[in-house]
Amino acid sequence: MGPIRREQIVRATIRCLAREGYTRLTMKKVAREAGVSQGILHYYFADKRAMLVATLATVSRDLDRRVAAAQSHTTRDPAARLRALVRACLEVAVRRPEFWVVFLEFWGEMVHDRRLREVNAEVYARTRRLIARLITEGVRAGRFRAVDPERAAAVVLGLVDGVSLQLTFDPRAFSVAEAARLCDAALARYLSTEVSR
């Protein structure tokens, strides 16, 4: 029951963050949203900072699962898998905007909290490593030009973050399909084997 109850509280925290933001978040509101007592809430989380860290971990895992599912429907081609990764992230921005609200609330708080900055750095380092593996495979297969995989992963992540934020907060700017095409074109130019840099 413990993991289920904890997940229930984290999902309630995500909903509360999406509605009211971190500054207006209280343990009482989360307990009410989760349908648990404050005592049970405190059993799982010491404070709202701990809940914020748990929500970041949860949305990151959810995003990883969505990316893995999207990539499972493609070929083993690194370029196709990179496109699937980008598309999955962009779709989350429209279908689950609360994910990006969690990231934004977390980023706002980490500016003033060294521990939260460390948590964010770990999440980003892990994500860059996953993307860098894809880029390394693409370079080895001759699909991408020779680049530093870690630096290229940071560029990919920056593009995905920026476009996803625009989709989250201004979904009329462009459709997911159009955003995916723009990202694909930008990454194709950046990673193209036909362009010397």
Q: What is the mean pLDDT of residues 127-141?
A: 96
Q: Is residue 196 part of a domain?
A: no
Q: What range does the domain containing 6 cover?
A: 1-45
Query: C-alpha angle with apex 119: 117 to 124, nearest 5 degrees?
Result: 90
What pLDDT sits at residue 195? 53
Residues 117 and 29 in one domain: no
Q: What is the CATH number of the domain that holds 116?
A: 1.10.357.10
Residues 133 and 160 in one domain: yes
Residues 30 and 78 in one domain: no
Residues 87 and 178 in one domain: yes
CB atoms inside a 10 Å sphere around CB 126: 12
Residues 104 and 146 in one domain: yes
Residues 80 and 41 in one domain: no
Q: Is residue 95 part of a domain?
A: yes
R_g (Cα) of the chain, nearest Å: 19
Residues 19 and 109 in one domain: no
Residues 109 and 166 in one domain: yes
Counting DSSP H helices and E strands in the chain, the numbers are 9, 0
For helices 114-140 and 78-95, what crossing angle results, to 10°?
140
In the predicted model, is pLDDT for residue 156 greater than 70? Answer: yes
Burial class (CB in 10 A: 0-12, 13-18, 19+), 22: buried
Residues 71 and 91 in one domain: yes
Asked if residue 160 lies in contact with residue 111, where contact means CB atoms within 8 angstroms, the answer is no
Amino acid identity, position 172: R
Of 83, 66, 85, nearest to 143 by C-alpha is: 83
57-95: per-residue pLDDT in tens? 999 999 999 999 999 999 999 999 999 999 999 999 999
Residues 65 and 98 in one domain: yes
Q: What is the pTM of this model?
A: 0.88
Residues 107 and 174 in one domain: yes
pLDDT tier at 1, thresholds 50, 70, 90: low
Q: Is residue 65 part of a domain?
A: yes
91-131: per-residue pLDDT in tens? 999 999 999 999 999 999 999 999 999 999 999 999 999 99
Residues 6 and 61 in one domain: no
Q: What is the CATH number of the domain that holds 23?
A: 1.10.10.60
Overall number of domains in the chain: 2
